[in-house]
Amino acid sequence: MIGVGSYLLESGILLSRMASKIYLIYKGGALGGDKEMIAAIEKKKNIELIPQSSVKALSGTNNLQSITLVDNSGQEKVVNVDGLFIEMGSKINLDFIKQLVKINSKSEIETTPDGKTSHPAIFAAGDASSIPYKQIVAACSGGATAGLSAFNYVEKLKGKPGVRADWKKTIGDTVFHY
């Protein structure tokens, strides 16, 4: 894994539960982030810290087999790996909307479980929202939910009922849920 701060630490801890060996590669001389997470990382027997380094090259035939690292002095080191995770984090630009919706102390758009914000016509999902887990599957689910909520909002503006959360159709005496 290569990255910075809490993103690198959290992913390192998570992957250390599944992988036999993890290399944490970072440019600085010390790990950055939460002190408790740093302590947890330092206790893990299957994590090797590689400070003051960056990835120079990736090698492999049909899949990744090794990476070439270069440290701050220019010294190179080849490490055999099965994969590479990049955990650089992200900063979501909410400048265009922060005057319209409530933004919490973590710089996230405050949302309800159905994607509604403090503005009745603005819906949000994914990493920009206040969902607790910043994972693609959670973002996709939130996107679908917020999309349906937005659709219902527009339909109601037109005087239509919108869609229901549980879709069903009755044919004869049988009810089909889909």
> Do the strands 76-80 and 22-25 form a parallel or antiparallel pair, or are they unpaired?
unpaired
pLDDT digits (tens, 9 = 90+) for 97-146: 999 999 999 899 999 999 999 999 999 999 899 998 888 898 999 999 99
- 2-87 with 93-168: one CATH topology? yes
26-62 pLDDT, tens per residue?
A: 999 999 888 999 999 999 999 999 999 999 999 999 8
Amino acid at 158: K
Q: Which residues contact 150 (CB under 8 A, 6 or more apart)?
A: 115, 123
Domain 93-168 in CATH: superfamily? Answer: FAD/NAD(P)-binding domain (3.50.50.60)
What is the signed CA dihedral for 131, 89, 28, 46, rounded to 10 degrees?
70
Domain segments of the chain: what residues?
2-87, 93-168
Distance CA 178, CA 170 (A): 11
CATH 3.50.50.60 fits 2-87, yes or no: yes
